[in-house]
Amino acid sequence: MFESLPDRVSVYEVSPRDGLQNETAIVPTTKKQRLIEALAASGLTRIELTSFVSPKWVPQLADAEELCTLVDIKGSGVAYSALCPNIKGMERAIACGMPEIGIFISASETHNKKNVNKTIDETLATFVEVCAAAKQAGIKVRGYVSTLWGCPFEGAIDPRRGLQIAHQLVELGCYQVSLGDTIGVGTPLQTRDIVRLFLKELRPEQIALHMHDTRGTALANVIVGLECGVRDFDASIGGLGGCPYAPGAAGNLATEDLVFTLHGMGIQTGIDLDRLWEAGRVAESIVGRALPGKVHKAGVRSLRS
Ligand code: HMG
Ligand code: MG
C-alpha cells in the first residue's frame, strides 16, 4: 500500500450546501457569507455555495440569489458551484452568473424519486436540457451519483448501475462525477471494489469521492480511494452535512480531518489547516451546535507541539 501517492489532491468543500441544507434552523444569509469567506480564506479553491432547488423542498437554501450577490462568485480565485435539479434551477443559476453547477441523481430509483420526484430516466432527460443550457452559457457542470454504497430504502445497490449513470453524465458534459456514499454505510473493501470498477472505464480526474461519515468510515474509505488513484475528495467543514431525503445521512467527512490526514501523509492541498480550523469555529457559531469533526474538536496540534 501507499506506493503511488500523489503530491497533491483537490478538496471540494460542500458545507454551505450539503451542510446547511440539513440544519433544522435556517441560517441567515449574512452568516452564510461569513462562513464562505472564512472557507475561502483558508485556501479552499472549490466551494459548493448553495442549491437552486425548490424553496418548498429545501427552505434552508431559499436565499440562493441573495447569497450570490454577497459572495464574489466570479472574481475571487475560488470556483463556486451550486446544485441545479432542472431547467428552472439552471435559469436561476444563469441569472446569478454562476460559473459552475452540480447536477445530481441517485443510483437507487426510490431515493431518486424521493429526492427529486422523478424516475432516474426522467431525471436524465431533464439533464439533457440543463446541460445544453449550461454549454450555451459557458457554465461548467459537475455530476453526482448518490447512494452508490447503499440506499436507505432499497439497501444494496449494484455499482454497475451507478457506472452506467456516470457514463451518461459524462456524455452530457460533466467534467467530473462525484460518487456519493449518501448515508455513510461504505466500508474499505467495498470502496476499493467500487473505485476499481469506475477506474476501469473513467479517468481518475473524472471521478471524486463524496463520503458521508455517518458510521465513522468516511476517512478510511477516502484513504482507500486515494490508494486506488482518486485525487478529488468532497468534504464539509466540521463534518456538517446530510441529505434531507436520505434518512440518517448526517455528517459529511470533515474537511479538517481530511486535510490533517493528507498533510500528515505529505500530500499537499493548498489549504492552511489553522485557518481551516478557524473556519470550523465560524461554522459552529453560525449553526449554534457542536460539530462532530475530530480535528475540529481536538485542535490541529497536540498539547506538546
Ligand atoms: P416538483 O415538486 O416535482 O417540481 O419538485 P415541479 O417541477 O412539479 O414544480 C413544482 C413547484 O416547484 C413549481 O412552483 C415550480 O416552479 C417550483 P409552484 O408553481 O408550485 O409555485 N420549482 C422550482 N422553484 C425553484 N427552483 C427550482 C424549481 N423547480 C421547480 N429549481 C424538484 C422537483 C427537483 C424541484 C424538487 O424535488 C426539489 O427541489 N428537490 C430538492 C432535492 C434536494 O435538494 N436534495 C438534496 C440535495 S442532493 C444530496 O444532498 C446528495 C448529494 O450531497 C450527494 C450524496 O450525498 O450522495 C449531492
Ligand atoms: Mg451529500
**In the 3-class helix/strand/coil scheme, how is the chain assigned residue by residue?**
CCCCCCCECEEEECHHHHHHHHCCCCCCHHHHHHHHHHHHHCCCCEEEEEECCCCCCCHHHCCHHHHHHHCCCCCCCCEEEEECCCHHHHHHHHHHCCCEEEEEEECCHHHHHHHHCCCHHHHHHHHHHHHHHHHHHCCEEEEEEECCCCECCCECCCHHHHHHHHHHHHHHCCCEEEEEECCCCCCHHHHHHHHHHHHHHCCHHHEEEEEECCCCCHHHHHHHHHHHCCCEEEEEHHHCCCCCCCCCCCCECEHHHHHHHHHHCCCECCCCHHHHHHHHHHHHHHHCCCCCCHHHHHCCCCCCC
Report residue 248's pLDDT band, with 50, 70 and 90 as the boundaries.
Answer: low
The pLDDT assigned to 286 comes to: 96
Domain boundaries, the chain: 10-298
| Ion ligand 2 nearby residues (CB, 5 A) | 18
Question: Is 174 tagged catalytic?
Answer: no
Check pocket membership of 30 for ligand 1, CB cut-off 6 A. Answer: no
Give the mean model confidence (pLDDT) for residues 123-141.
98
- The model's confidence at residue 241, banded by pLDDT at 50, 70 and 90, is confident
Residue identifier of the C-alpha nearest atom 53 of ligand 1: 18
More confident residue, 23 or 245: 23
51 Cβ below 6 A of ligand 1: yes
Residue % of the chain over a pLDDT of 70: 96
Superfamily of segment(s) 10-298: Aldolase class I (3.20.20.70)
Residue-level pLDDT at 243:
63
Chain mean pLDDT for the chain: 95
Q: What is the pTM of this model?
A: 0.97
280 Cβ below 6 A of ligand 1:
no
